[in-house]
Structure 1
């Protein structure tokens, strides 16, 4: 399946947000303008690991890079970006631990679209249902509807992994 021109893959950055609640924070429970549809994309594990192994932190970190120039060169030469953002609770408040955001460009973006995507499910109605329960104060029922999420055993060398807490 071809979803765009080679030029599109080389210049756009597609962000994968594996955390349901972080995605709800980002899209405002599917209510933000131009973010009214929420899709769950199932991705091949081998592709996800490939992207992590071929990623660079999206920001300069002196503990990960010898200097800012080295980071900038690495960033330009890698097809994926890793960013660690605070995880969110049901009220979308920041939690004291971080969640992965994985940006794909170039080869990684092309492979994501053409090879690694296993399934796409519209979860907009689920997002709205959970949000309605949170608004009504029934957080137990809302939590029971959340998709199951487990810690992911990221491959050795995943950028920023040692500083995630």
Structure 2
């Protein structure tokens, strides 16, 4: 393990914010109903990320096709920790899995996939600590939609404002308006499972 792994997030006692990027069609329904609905598909894996800047890197600040809208999805911490506790890392790690065989078996049946990637700076450069992304399979997406989601906020106007600051060379202005994220306390049994 090279980099330090931390879950950094905007969270309170009961909930945590995860970010997702979608097309207008999916975002409009989600924001209006405060819940995902068609054309959102519960039949394919959906990835949730507590790092705002990682999603900005991934969606190219909302410029990628089908990722124009940035949503902040506030979910219950109980749901988040349930996802983490049923998650398996996307790659074999001796400390977390014992043997490659044990990992492969666990991964093939895992309802949740966990991936670590270098956290990103405002300008998209890799940072020395890793950020988590969590892939929810069909087995748990319905719970994410029906039981875990507390609220859905459209952050697209904020993303456009930040992007303008960056384009105008005002990184300091952009930094001031970023969502606040701090280190999330991951229970120690989970930390081992997540290769932290």
Shorter chain as denominator, the TM-score bin is: 0.7 to 0.9
- For 2:142, which of 73, 91, 110 is the aligned residue? 110
After TM superposition, give the deviation of residue 2 of structure 1 in Å.
Answer: 8.2
Q: Residue by residue, what CA displacement relative to the aligned partner does 1:125-150 show, whole Å, maximum 9, x if unpaired?
A: 11111111112121111011101111
Q: Residue by residue, what CA displacement relative to the aligned partner does 1:40-77 show, whole Å, maximum 9, x if unpaired?
A: 11111110011111111111122322222211111122
Say which is worse superposed, 24-33 or 58-67, in terms of deviation: 58-67
Q: TM-score, normalized by length of structure 1?
A: 0.88
Alpha-carbon RMSD across the aligned residues, in angstroms, is 1.8
Change (3 A) 1:76 1:2: same
- For 1:144, which of 158, 162, 176 is the aligned residue? 176
After TM superposition, give the deviation of residue 108 of structure 1 in Å.
Answer: 2.0
Local SS of the residue matching 2:63: coil
Count how many residue pairs are aligned between Structure 1 and Structure 2: 158
Residues 25-64 of structure 1 mapped to structure 2, 5 A cutoff: 25-64=57-96
Residues 2-151 of structure 1 mapped to structure 2, 5 A cutoff: 3=37, 9=42, 12-151=44-183
Determine which structure has the larger strand proportion and give its number.
2
Distance 1:21 1:95 in 2: 11
Q: TM-score, normalized by length of structure 2?
A: 0.75
Instruction: Give structure 1 stretches of 5+ with no counterpart.
Output: none
Instruction: Give structure 2 stretches of 5+ with no counterpart.
Output: 1-34
